């Protein structure tokens, strides 16, 4: 992988077939790097996935996991249903995580990304200790497979995220920085967050957004990269100043497939100019 190599999230194309997705990334977008997402049961088709990735010639920056039952209809809804928060589905979500971890290792990829769920801001909250134990368990399992868990920014303030990572106290946990998520969730200014997260950032999503009128209560709006309030040039420059050399992976989650492809092409043009 080249320093600051541009890639794209597989789910951003909104194409159901993996072979077609990878072909489009390579031939239409002209990219060589992909982040593979597994949000349904497709991860169980291990042989097909392995063959598709090998045939494409693309490099995988990281895998990404999501779960059935996660409700993104509102911020309060995802706070209750996201990641490893729900007690009644913890065993199922852990089992899926370990299965995707096995697939990740077979692909020769070292990173597995996830929205772990809303960690309570108050460390004295009983749920805080539960989340520390759950993420520690996941990190231990991933460590046995030679993998690193990368938590995606969005739900927690940067300072709280660092404190949580320190509480988990595992060597194989880091951050996937998504500036737009901080705006969408109304949690903090992305440029200021980089100053706090710095060397914990090992993977970056290139996504843009505008603030909600009611930050933290209602979603902001995702927009085409470079047209929102993330200050993408400032984000890239600050990452470079801190010595970041990982990938810049475009994520687009709004619109139909043709619209998304056009938006991704615009994002690629912007990133290449930077």
Q: What is the pLDDT of residues 202-232, one digit of tens each?
A: 999 999 999 999 998 999 999 999 999 999 9
How far apart are the C-alpha atoms of 112 and 139, rounded to whole Å?
10
Q: Which residues pair with 62 in a beta bridge?
A: 35
Query: Can you give the pLDDT at residue 121?
Result: 87
Q: What is the mean pLDDT of residues 242-258?
A: 97
Angle 51-28-251 from CA coordinates, rounded to 5°: 80
Query: Can you give the pLDDT at residue 266?
Result: 98
pLDDT tens for 6-20 read 999 999 999 999 999
Shortest CA distance to 185 belongs to which of 112, 264, 82, 89? 82
Residue 154 has pLDDT above 90, yes or no: no
pLDDT tens for 114-143 read 999 999 989 999 999 999 999 999 999 999
How far apart are the C-alpha atoms of 197 and 164, rounded to whole Å?
12
Sequence ranges of the domains in the chain? 6-273
CATH number of 6-273: 3.20.20.150
Number of Cβ within a 10 Å radius of residue 248 = 25
Shortest CA distance to 84 belongs to which of 121, 118, 39? 118
Tokens of 50: 């392995």
Mean pLDDT of the chain: 96
Radius of gyration of the chain (CA): 17
Residue 155 has pLDDT above 90, yes or no: no
pLDDT tens for 71-128 read 999 999 999 999 999 999 999 999 999 999 999 999 999 999 999 999 998 999 999 9
């Amino acid at each position: 992988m080249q320093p600051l190599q541009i890639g794209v999230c597989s789910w951003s194309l909104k194409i159901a077939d993996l072979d077609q997705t990878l072909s489009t990334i390579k031939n239409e977008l002209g990219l060589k790097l992909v982040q593979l997402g597994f949000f349904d049961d497709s991860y169980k088709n291990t042989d097909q996935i392995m063959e598709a990735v090998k045939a494409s010639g693309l490099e995988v920056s990281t895998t990404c996991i999501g779960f059935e039952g996660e409700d993104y209809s509102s911020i309060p809804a995802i706070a209750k249903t996201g990641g490893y928060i729900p007690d009644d589905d913890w065993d199922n979500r852990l089992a899926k995580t370990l299965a995707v971890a096995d697939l990740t290792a077979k692909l020769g990829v070292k990173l597995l990304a996830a929205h772990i769920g809303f960690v309570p801001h108050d460390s004295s909250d009983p749920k805080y200790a539960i989340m520390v134990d759950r993420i520690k368990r996941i990190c231990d399992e991933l460590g046995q497979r030679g993998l690193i868990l990368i938590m995606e920014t969005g739900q927690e303030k940067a300072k709280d995220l660092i404190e949580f990572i320190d509480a988990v106290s595992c060597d194989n946990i880091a951050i996937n920085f998504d500036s737009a998520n901080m705006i969408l969730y109304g949690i903090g200014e992305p440029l200021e967050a980089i100053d706090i997260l710095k060397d914990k950032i090992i993977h970056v999503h290139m996504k843009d957004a505008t603030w909600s009128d009611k930050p933290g209560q209602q979603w902001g709006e995702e927009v085409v990269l470079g047209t929102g309030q993330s200050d993408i040039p400032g984000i890239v420059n600050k990452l470079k100043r801190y010595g970041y050399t990982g990938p810049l992976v475009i994520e687009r989650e709004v619109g139909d497939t043709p619209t998304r492809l056009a938006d991704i092409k615009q994002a690629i043009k912007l990133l290449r100019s930077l």
